[in-house]
Amino acid sequence: GESVGLHLPTLSVQEGDNSIINCAYSNSASDYFIWYKQESGKGPQFIIDIRSNMDKRQGQRVTVLLNKTVKHLSLQIAATQPGDSAVYFCAERAGGFKTIFGAGTRLFVKA
């Protein structure tokens, strides 16, 4: 079925610490995963993506890990900053272009 869910709906971290946001997916046919950041009143903003033939991908201050065995992916944010406060969504695609979004995790960064 279509199900992309998150373990933690709210995450609060201290400025400068690392953040880890987790996501579980249920469709074993999904072959492409994306993380989006959404700030209040705005549309989702692409952060990083990963294809199923990889298990790790790094960007600027962000890393996505994919574990296909347990159908889990995570977003790691290094040295979290106040500007990182937002809702983070994982999303998946199983071929084609239809993208299924998870419920989201709200990240609070304490100064």
* Least distance from other proteins to the Cβ atom of residue 16, Å: 28
Is 49 a binding residue for other proteins by CB under 8 A? The answer is: yes
Pick from 9, 21, 36, 13: nearest CA to 82: 13
Q: Tell me, residue by residue from 78 to 97, as one string, x for binding to other proteins by CB under 8 A and - for no binding.
A: -----------x------xx
Which residue number, 42 or 53, has a Cβ lying nearer to other proteins? 42
- With contacts defined by CB under 8 A, name the span among 11-19, 52-60, 66-74, 101-109 that binds other proteins: 101-109
Site for other proteins in 15-44 (CB under 8 A): 34, 36, 41-44
Which residue's structure tokens are 């790790």? 56
- Chain residues binding other proteins by CB under 8 A are 4, 34, 36, 41-46, 49, 89, 96-104
